[in-house]
Chain A
């Protein structure tokens, strides 16, 4: 073959030529810039506007942030250190750190108690949030509410122990009888728990302790970010079962049950949370028997729980409706009764579909816990607006404090939503 070439043309390349590098505008950073930032004139204009916006924000905040004063005892002290230059007065965060977290009335020497409860929260939440952890940890999760109650409010340990005993008795009753009948197991468990509490409450002495490491702290002394966390965690965990019940009730074929659930859900969803907090503040007290003395914290927990239960119910109803009808029919054809079908077939799948929605509600609810500052409770915002901004040392330190609150809420809420996205990927069992 090569002979023919030798005769017909003067030169034939026998090896492959090395490929040239691509033109500088077709690869590398220039291509990326061209494609992503300057594709069209309009696009370039947008890029320039965006850069200007970023420049304005950065030059506006960075000197203020990085020139901040961290050590001072008052705003005047900050101004002295800054000496006319721009700078934040972050000293307020250092000096009032404990107040921001725990409120201004919680006994100073007892800060370790809510602190410990906060750390243990992660231990308790871990096995619920991550399924790979050993299941034995769930025992701690079950104990945690009582432990946290004892740590935060203090008092004698008999009260949380009694509460735990009631729940445990109910649980064992449920385990024993659920196989024969769900209704018997469930309602029986409630009755058993109530009995244990009633009897125990009559036998055991009062749980107030006046001094010592575990002395009682009344609810009105709670405050700061602790209060937001407590409302958020308590109300979301309480509203989940209530929301499931409401969602099932709304899907029920019994008209009366359905009617009650629809009225409840639509009523709660139709009014702003702030009016419900007004109810907790000024109205709910009238609905309890005279002299029962339900304190404001509990009243607020009741109202927020009802509020988030209505929203969670709507999310779960969406999950129930999204399940293919075949699942319901399959459960029926296996001969499962309503409780079994729901417990074993329908709810596990419906709840899985609802997880993103439930997390959205949880995040929204956690943000809404700041509203309690309107009914003059001293949560994080209440602390900032009330005792700190009103004090002579720090009146006028506005941006640092609200910036801190914003960062705190952002970290928590963004973290939760990232977790939810991870969970969604993790639970995706459909093969795509």
Chain B
């Protein structure tokens, strides 16, 4: 017979802190804590010694002081007399604007390239492989500069568009591409115009309600209502009717080339820096998304498609009901982390003079006030909050689509 000998109880010796696995982890953690505390203490002590030596202090008062510089591209009211805080807000909104725009277009590019890369067409799939390799292997910074170069060097100034007999015609008579940016028509809403817009939004909601109702009816009774053309009808007919009944209350403010001799007036101007950073980020990240999409579609095993076909499901439905739901499970998490990358890479906008938060808070404000530590800390805090929000989103999504094992 063997008997299990219990470890000796009681009598605690100092050597057990190292040798006994029950206590060893506490020893290590205590050591780690002390070392960490010493490091932080050392660094903070250095910081205050250095600051005191240069007669500086840490203070966030500069945020309330007038910024004293202008920002061209802005979404909210701002003058050079506004505070640094206001300038930061302008920057934050600009960052979010370019991030949202680039996420949308990058998804389009990526999905298109990823699907086409799997195409049976040899030439197209090779072309897409070429696109992906070229864009993935060259720094985004170079792409931003190249596209900014195309915008500002290759495009003409405003001059050729101006006057009675312009050298260049505007595209569709509405869009002017100059080295300062793109002039596009801007919609102008009369009070009644807002009604039309509201009707349009309501009809979109109505379309979704209709589709939900049709689906429920299908599951409950097996009766299949048509989905395609009624959806189109519901979305567009009421809005178009309202538009004409109310007397065309929405008009377009078309860029005016006759207004003066120096520049195009009116319309909606998108600056060259915004377009450069937007396009560069979307085409660069699109290459990464294309790879994700390809991997996602390839991850769905062929047996799934064949099984669905054996059940007699039509090819279009196989895609939407069998392949896509499974592929999306693989595609979406890396897609969202690519969105995060876009948001972080949008900080490179400082290179082309787009006033994002890095350029306002981390650039001009930092240089003018000399508050380096405060500005950089605030900047990091902003990006940290954004990325924590986005990774929270990934986690929620992952939990929602997790295979439910019963």
Indicate if A2 sits at the interface (CB-CB under 8 A): no
Q: Which residue on B lies nearest to A279, using beta carbons?
A: B376
A contacts with B: majority SS: helix
* CB-nearest residue of chain A to B116: A46
Verify if B46 is at the interface (C-beta below 8 Å from A).
yes
B119 nearest in chain A by CB position: A46
Question: A417 with B350: in contact, given A37-B121, A274-B358, A275-B383 (CB under 8 Å)?
Answer: no
Chain B residues, Cβ within 8 Å of A368: 139
Report Cα–Cα, A373/B383, bound state, in Å. Answer: 21
> In the complex the two chains form, is A282's CB within 8 Å of B32's CB?
no
If A256-B29, A270-B387, A409-B137 touch, does A381 touch B127 (CB 8 Å cutoff)?
no
Question: Is B282 an interface residue, CB under 8 A from the partner?
Answer: no
- Give A239 to B55 CA distance when docked, in angstroms: 36
Known: A271-B384, A374-B351, A417-B137. A286 touches B123 (CB 8 A): no
Residues A271 and B380 in contact, CB atoms below 8 Å apart: yes
Q: Which of B140-148, B159-167, B319-327, B397-405 contacts A (4 or more CB under 8 A)?
A: B140-148
Report, as a range, how many residues of chain B touch the other chain.
35 or more
Contact A36 B120, CB 8 Å, known A50-B127, A260-B32: yes
Q: How far is the CA of A385 from the CA of B388 in the complex (A)?
A: 34
Q: Is the CB of B121 within 8 A of A47?
A: yes
Interface residues of B in 1-58 (CB under 8 A from A): 25, 28-29, 32-33, 36, 43, 46-47, 49-51, 53
Chain A interface residue bracket vs B: 35 or more
Interface 9-residue window, one of B191-199, B222-230, B340-348 = B340-348
Q: Are B123 and A39 in contact (CB under 8 A)?
A: no
B36, A260: Cβ atoms under 8 Å? yes
Chain A's closest residue to B362 (CB) is A278
User: Which A residues are CB-close (under 8 A) to B136?
Assistant: 413
Shortest Cβ gap from B130 to chain A (Å): 10
Contact B145 A274 (CB under 8 A): no
* Alpha-carbon distance between A273 and B51 when the two chains are bound, in angstroms: 25
On whether the beta carbons of B46 and A286 are closer than 8 Å, the reply is yes
Would A402 and B146 be within 8 Å (CB), given that A257-B32, A267-B384, A417-B137 are in contact?
yes
> A305 within 8 Å of B by Cβ?
no
Are the CB atoms of B123 and A47 closer together than 8 Å? yes
CB distance from B357 to the nearest CB of A (A): 10
Alpha-carbon distance between A54 and B137 when the two chains are bound, in angstroms: 20
Please determine whether A410 and B138 come into contact, CB atoms closer than 8 angstroms.
Answer: yes
Name A13-52 residues within 8 Å CB distance of B: 35-37, 39, 43, 46-47, 50-51
Q: Measured between C-beta atoms, what is the minimum distance from B88 to chain A in Å?
A: 14
Chain B residues within an 8 Å CB radius of A398: 149, 153
CB distance from B344 to the nearest CB of A (A): 4
Query: Which residues of the other chain, B, contact A35 by a CB distance below 8 angstroms?
Result: 120
Question: Complex: how many Å from CA A275 to CA B127?
Answer: 36
Among A272, A282, A402, the most chain B Cβ lie within 10 Å of the Cβ of A272
Give the chain B neighbours of A43 by CB distance below 8 A. 119-121
The reply to whether B133 and A414 contact each other, CB–CB distance below 8 Å, is: yes
A11 in the interface, Cβ–Cβ < 8 Å? no
1/0 per position for A255-288, CB-CB distance to B under 8 A? 1110010000011011111110011001101111
* Across-interface contacts of B176 in A (CB, < 8 A): none
Q: Check A399–B149 contact: CB distance below 8 A.
A: yes
By beta carbon, the residue of chain B nearest A45 is B121
Q: Are B46 and A275 in contact (CB under 8 A)?
A: no
B301-335 interface mask toward A, CB cutoff 8 Å, 1 = contact, 0 = none?
00000000000000000000000000000000000
Q: Is A370 an interface residue (CB 8 A)?
A: yes
Contacting residue for A253 out of B25, B43, B376, B384, CB 8 A: B25
Question: Do residues A272 and B141 form an inter-chain contact, with CB atoms below 8 A?
Answer: no
Contacting residues, chain A, for B96 (C-beta < 8 A): none
Q: Find residues 40-88 in chain A having any chain B CB closer than 8 Å to their own CB.
A: 43, 46-47, 50-51, 53-54
**Known pairs A253-B25, A286-B47, A290-B49; A46 contacts B124 (CB<8 A):** yes
Contact A50 B32 (CB under 8 A): no
In the complex, which residues of chain A have a beta carbon less than 8 angstroms from the beta carbon of B366?
A: 278, 282
Tell me if B97 is interfacial: C-beta within 8 Å of chain A: no
Chain A CB within 10 Å, residue with most, of B46, B121, B140: B121
- Of the candidates A51, A269, A410, the one whose C-beta lies within 8 Å of that of B387 is A269
Query: Measured between alpha carbons, how far is A88 from B387 in the docked complex, in Å?
Result: 43
Name the distance in Å between A11's Cβ and chain B's nearest Cβ. Answer: 47
11 contacts between A and B (CB under 8 A): A53-B127, A253-B25, A260-B32, A271-B387, A272-B347, A272-B383, A286-B46, A289-B46, A367-B139, A402-B145, A410-B134
7 pairs of A and B residues whose beta carbons are closest in the complex: A282-B372, A36-B122, A270-B387, A413-B137, A272-B344, A367-B139, A256-B29
